[in-house]
Structure 1
């Protein structure tokens, strides 16, 4: 038995990754209040490997208080054997945090405060009791019986328990307001904070708690490479700048490319609101900032460099999206992101766009990229009718170029 006090005596995310790869267990049951991609995508590689070896993963999650996102639920649908949502219309929050691993020779139970989020699994102050049961089959059977009884009670809640069978179930929850896209939640929170006004900070910044870089398969030509699964004992911390400036959005207007899937990235951007001083976009001139290509870790002045990135769109990783500075007669003198990746199953991201309906999906939209890792980003798409909301929420607002007529861009 162990009391894990995160981050002082360890981080539950690293522990879970290690346990899933230990070979001791055949089933993982998760019952949590909240799930976000910051947690789900960081244990996804470990879950994929666990399931590829015959392991089963079952998740029950709440959708209260905006704590579970559309993207997290979509990723869980793809990477679990069963997925369900619990919600009461009576202001009764579904709030457990249980991780239960079942094995042939031993079981392990983790009960505490850790949600399936980046904060819950790595950076927050959290405490969990870890109980390993291997010396008494009677005790193990009793524990399993209690957990199964609890899950049976939950599944018997009728209208308060929803099995998620396909993407349509998740889309219905989004359309009915039970879920938000993560960038939408950022925008709402930022605008609400501005309306309420600032207040003097009374506390310090806590203690450092590293969140690991992700280990995703990267396409040939990518400027960096990573091991298959991050080490549970020695995680690599993301640069603090990525955590502070983690989402960028673009107004797309007409787009270019045969599938209208090429996004121009500026080398330098005109600033209309906010101060880039002291940020990764600082050019020493308050009127301009380093262009949007810098968000993806490229130096705008080194036009010979290219970078392949992975985009997670609606739960699926698409590799081989290339950032480059084109040359030749058809070049327009600006950096480009070619959104042309393929999934591990060989499906094109442009085909996923086509399934959204007639016409080119990215035209007249707002596209947002949220940093998960230095070569891995969450891609979200919104109607350009939301432009004023995105503009108001941005910490820095400007143009994707050096003229006032250039498309709008913002940092959340």
Structure 2
């Protein structure tokens, strides 16, 4: 039996990770069935291996997924995608404090078998990005040590595999409806809003304290998942040539990263066109509601009404003291680009129309990426990118009563 240690997350230049090993296993012709036991599944994880799963299944391979739904960590959209895919999926849930928490991928073939056991859930971060560790076991079917090892897994999960455990149910739409109704599984946008509320309540807000924190701890470099790094949109960058009135427009493909929200700006308001309309709630295509675009900034529109000061990084400059605030007279949330840089450069000078030339943010798509609960990176895209962004989003909705949309990049 061959044993390999699979480590990921600390070397951004390495392609060794659980996700690529699973893709390799699905693509080779050594295996006829795969059983996957994982605690959490996300749309981002499925997106990165769904093509290989479906190709394996189309070639006659059998796939069975045994998925946990505790802690709201497996999303509604992920389970809907699994139902739509036709992949045989079971959900495991115990309505007490017991959590189903394995991460095991077992590949069975006529001649050889493989088992990957470790810490990687079926999420993009778990498979490709987080600091995770797994052990890969490869062995011939006649290998006594390998057979004993595989029997240990089979014995442990026998009641789940044979569907005799009452906490395990075949995933069907009626089963999913019960999980949704009881709020065991939530839309990804709701999970994101919950995380934002926690960050807002507990994360450090003091700028000086946050700077001391980021000075002390460096960021790990992120390894992009194979399907994630292809998410891109076109940004038109307006560059003023020093000493002249000439403006050069440069098309630049930018990468869309996780923890981002895009929103169609429309005309914006105020003479300087520096006020972006946000929404208390979003309206999905099926006419159901989710929390609105203001929730991306860590605000619960149902209970919060206090303004939030944020810093915005734009075009290489940091603009301080912009404000997300609630306007009581018309019951709306807004983002005011009132900020200035430390050198006194004002957002107003960028957003204000000049004669017949519209402001830089008007009728665009504004893409925000969260750096911290009070700091965001802003990039400006052409409104023609909206259909592409909808396709790349984990969820998108209409921005309240407006005709404009917003969405989240998973």
TM category, shorter: 0.5 to 0.7
Matched, 1:203 2:217: yes
Residue in 2 that maps onto 1:118: 124
Aligned partner of residue 277 in structure 1, secondary structure: strand
| Superposition deviation, residue 124 in structure 1 | 0.3
Aligned partner of residue 159 in structure 1, secondary structure: coil
Q: Considering only aligned residues, what root-mean-square deviation do their CA atoms show, in Å?
A: 4.3
Structure 2: distance between partners of 1:64 and 1:26: 30
Structure 2: distance between partners of 1:104 and 1:411: 43
Aligned partner of residue 243 in structure 1, secondary structure: coil
Q: Mean Cα displacement is larger for which, 127-136 or 202-211? A: 202-211
Contact 1:35 1:72 (C-alpha < 8 Å) held by counterparts: yes
Residue in 2 that maps onto 1:96: 102
Residue in 2 that maps onto 1:53: 59
Structure 2: distance between partners of 1:407 and 1:306: 13
Greater strand content = 2
| Superposition deviation, residue 149 in structure 1 | 2.6
Structure 2: distance between partners of 1:144 and 1:280: 55
Contact 1:86 1:94 (C-alpha < 8 Å) held by counterparts: yes
Matched, 1:37 2:52: no
| Superposition deviation, residue 3 in structure 1 | 0.3
Residue in 2 that maps onto 1:2: 4
| Superposition deviation, residue 36 in structure 1 | 0.9
| Superposition deviation, residue 195 in structure 1 | 2.7
Of the three residues 253, 257, 277, the one matched with 2:312 is 277
| Superposition deviation, residue 274 in structure 1 | 6.0
Structure 1: distance between partners of 2:159 and 2:365: 51
Contact 1:277 1:286 (C-alpha < 8 Å) held by counterparts: no
Of the three residues 141, 159, 169, the one matched with 2:166 is 159
Deviation string for 1:291-311 (max 9, x for gaps)? 5535499843xx8x6775385
| Larger radius of gyration between Structure 1 and Structure 2 | 2
The total of aligned residue pairs comes to 296
Matched, 1:189 2:185: no
Q: Mean Cα displacement is larger for which, 151-160 or 101-110? A: 151-160
Cα gap change, 1:210 to 1:276, in 2 (>3 Å):
same
Matched, 1:109 2:115: yes
Of the three residues 241, 258, 277, the one matched with 1:243 is 258
Cα gap change, 1:407 to 1:80, in 2 (>3 Å):
closer
Unaligned stretches of 5+ in structure 1? 217-221, 224-237, 261-271, 312-374, 388-399, 401-405
